[in-house]
Amino acid sequence: MTDVDLKGKRPLSPHLQIYRPMLTMTMSIVHRITGAALYFGTVLLAYWLIALASGPEAFETAQAIFGSWIGRLVLFGYTWALLHHMLGGFRHFIWDFGLGFGEQEREWLARLTLIGGLVLTALVWIIAYSVL
Per-residue pLDDT tens digits for 42-55: 999 999 999 999 99
State the pLDDT at residue 97: 96
Rounded CA separation 112/109 (Å): 5
State the pLDDT at residue 80: 97
Phi, psi at residue 55, to the nearest 5°? 130, 175
Phi, psi at residue 44, to the nearest 5°? -65, -40
Q: Walk me through the domains of the chain, giving residue ranges and CATH numbers.
A: 30-94+101-131 (1.20.1300.10)
End-to-end CA, the chain: 75
Mean pLDDT for 111-119 is 97
Rounded CA separation 107/49 (Å): 39
Is the alpha carbon torsion for 113, 118, 119, 122 positive or negative? positive
Using only C-alpha atoms, what is the Rg of the chain? 22
5 Cβ contact list (under 8 Å, min separation 6): none
What's the pLDDT tens digit per position in 59-113? Answer: 999 999 999 999 999 999 999 999 999 999 999 999 999 999 999 999 999 999 9
Residue 122 has pLDDT above 80, yes or no: yes
Per-residue confidence band for 7, with pLDDT thresholds at 50, 70 and 90: low
> Looking at residue 1, what DSSP letter applies?
-
Q: Is 85 annotated as a binding residue?
A: yes
Residue 5 has pLDDT above 70, yes or no: no
